Amino acid sequence: MSERRIGIIMHGVTGRMGMNQHLIRSILEIRKQGGVALKDGTRLMPDPLLVGRNAVKIEELARQHGVQRWTTDLEGALASKADTVFFDAASTQLRPKLIKQAIKAGKHVYCEKPVSTTLAEAQDLYKAARKAKVKHGVVQDKLWLPGLMKLAKLRDEGFFGRILSVRGEFGYWVFEGDPQSGRPPAQRPSWNYRKQDGGGIILDMLCHWRYVLDNLFGEVQSVSCLGATHIPHRWDEDGKKYKATADDAAYATFKLAGGVIAHFNSSWTVRVRRDDLLTLQVDGTEGSAVAGLRKCLVQSYADTPKPVWNPDIPQPINFFEGWKEVPDESTQNAFKAQWELFLRHVAGEGPFRWGLLEGAKGVQLAELGLKSWRQRKWIDIPKLKA
């Protein structure tokens, strides 16, 4: 069995997401399994080159995980013909410039979302990639989560009948980070809470909800969004107090093609009393489902209870009964699953429809969600053309 090397420039992998999900749980796991199998029996083996500004951090990361190649010279890495793919998981504000550099160097590009902070920049990236005829992809990981894959299967099997509504609850309490308080340190980077640095939960999470809704329930056609900055001050990585200028919660309603109504609450200021950090409830004429990241529970029409409103007696119905768990199927890490599809696409096997245009759609929804908040009104979503 032959092996075919594919060199990947990985930028932004000293951060939490880039390191854990993309380097350790995706690329290094693909290497451990012997690469990605192609149709002709060849194994496509990723060979990562780690790139970062801090030489101490990037060298230590490479040493810990047995990665042979690392550098602080991004321009030199892009100039090399030994690596054909550029990946970025650094901050959103820097991403358009980096992706443009990589496209100009003739690299295929794959990146985290949001792809930019504005729709104009996102569309510009898509046009540049098309003009250069490079392959491109944007991380849309939640589509490969076991819980959401179960929802997709239920939809395809007709379990829901006509889908009526989708309710999403996402978030958890992000600690303020005050080192003098004796409370836990913040578990998210401080730039997330500064608008001037590309922060904000609307920009972050509406990009996710766009591809989740478009792919599972119907194309998003309009949005009504209310944001909030519930925690006015936080503390950064150096223990310095700063003013939170970005939204830390968003309450958004979406109208989808086919008449489906979706509502998502997204918050970094909420305490979790639900099955998971993200839960989706889908209600249809013939049945309902509640899915988390991995589990999915269903209630059919036949199992639906018949409650009667009577506040004068204890509730006689246990509403947690009458739900059945959808059996697990063989799945893998969601980020790794999409990486494998993209690498096969770069190798010439199969289409990859989650490109920079899809990334632009996410930025578009976030941009219009912010506009809806400012103007306090419903905003229609124009279609983006290829």
> CA angle, corner 20, sides to 108 and 128, nearest 5?
20
**Cβ density class 211-243: b for 16+ within 10 Å, e for less:** bbbbbbbbebbebbbebebebeebbeeeeeeee
Tally of CA atoms within 13 A in the half-sphere of 224 that contains its CB: 8
Give the separation between CA 93 and CA 198, rounded to whole angstroms.
6
Give the separation between CA 82 and CA 341, rounded to whole angstroms.
21
State pLDDT tens for residues 174-230.
999 999 999 999 999 999 999 999 999 999 999 999 999 999 999 999 999 999 999
Look at residue 385 in the predicted model and tell me its pLDDT.
84
The CB density around residue 287, as the number of other CB atoms within 10 Å, is: 19
Pull the structure tokens for residue 118: 């504005």
Look at residue 311 in the predicted model and tell me its pLDDT.
95
Q: What residue ranges of the chain have pLDDT lower than 70?
A: 1
Look at residue 307 in the predicted model and tell me its pLDDT.
94
What residues form DSSP beta bridges with 189?
none
State pLDDT tens for residues 120-176.
999 999 999 999 999 999 999 999 999 999 999 999 999 999 999 999 999 999 999
Could you give the C-alpha distances from 282 to 197, 248, 297, in angstroms and in order? 35, 25, 10
Look at residue 91 in the predicted model and tell me its pLDDT.
85
Look at residue 96 in the predicted model and tell me its pLDDT.
96
Residue 10 burial class via C-beta count within 10 angstroms: exposed 0-12, middle 13-18, buried 19 and up: buried
Could you give the C-alpha distances from 371 to 32, 222, 223, 366, 379, in angstroms and in order? 46, 12, 10, 9, 8
**Under a CB-based contact definition with an 8 Å cutoff, are residues 203 and 266 in contact?**
no
What residues form DSSP beta bridges with 289?
282, 298
Look at residue 330 in the predicted model and tell me its pLDDT.
87
